[in-house]
A and B are shown apart, each in its own frame.
Chain A
Amino acid sequence: LAKTTQPISMDSYEGQEVNITCSHNNIATNDYITWYQQFPSQGPRFIIQGYKTKVTNEVASLFIPADRKSSTLSLPRVSLSDTAVYYCLVGAGNTGKLIFGQGTTLQVKP
């Protein structure tokens, strides 16, 4: 199982772009990279998933370099409501066992 490493916490201001990087040096060939967002007292929810290069949806972008040993979640123009914990999850659909890393607490300030 690929172990992930993220910064423990980050601060930002409203309107800024935030980039959170996750390291996963021993990612396997069939592993996908998925990011989740968790608000206090709620279960995590899916943000974005990718395998390689760049993926973009209505809330975020995910950048994955060619060696896939890291990934960067990009949140454009954050607001106070983006204050949450963000988790990077690496694994494959056929393994069943999904282990979360420690997550990054993002604090957005006015």
Chain B
Amino acid sequence: NAGVTQTPKFQVLKTGQSMTLQCAQDMNHNSMYWYRQDPGMGLRLIYYSASEGTTDKGEVPNGYNVSRLNKREFSLRLESAAPSQTSVYFCASRWPGETGNTIYFGEGSWLTVV
């Protein structure tokens, strides 16, 4: 049981390049999330998907797009990377029908934009 798996773990991009961060969960969770965490800072919600087929903006959606490909997979795309998007990106998922806020995080993807 892998839980939440993110790829790649590390990536260096040049300004203006595009890339997609992949996330997959094997826990049959309905809700999935993308957060970013800048050095020494807290977690900020970029986008989330409450269920398959739906996506919604979080706190900092500008510069990003997401796709909920199926129940398992939720990808995050940077169309034109900027140095301000240098961060650690965490994908997370939540148990369907679970009351409360128990969410499970992946190990993170370290992105540097130069």
Contact = CB atoms under 8 A, between A and B. Distances in A.
Nearest to B95: A93
B58 to A, nearest CB: 7
Interface size class of A (residues with CB under 8 A): 20 to 34
A13 interface: no
Contacts, number: 71
Interface in A44-62: 44-46, 49, 51
Contacts of A41: 88, 108
B42 interface: yes
Contacts of B88: 41
Given A43-B107, A87-B42, A97-B48, A32 B90 contact: no
Contacts of A100: 35, 42-45
A17 to B, nearest CB: 25
Nearest to B6: A43
Contacts of B4: 43
Contacts of B101: 32, 34, 49, 89-93, 98
Contacts of A87: 42-43
Interface in B32-51: 33, 35, 41-45, 48-50
Given A97-B45, A100-B43, A101-B42, A42 B98 contact: no
B105 A49 contact: no
Contacts of B108: 41-43
A42 to B, nearest CB: 7
B42 A49 contact: no
Given A32-B99, A32-B101, A34-B101, A96 B56 contact: yes
- Please provide the 10 A-B residue pairs with the shortest distance between their CB atoms, ordered closest to farther: A43-B105, A32-B100, A96-B50, A34-B101, A93-B99, A100-B43, A102-B42, A89-B101, A103-B42, A49-B100
7 contacts: A43-B90, A46-B103, A46-B104, A98-B33, A98-B101, A101-B42, A103-B43
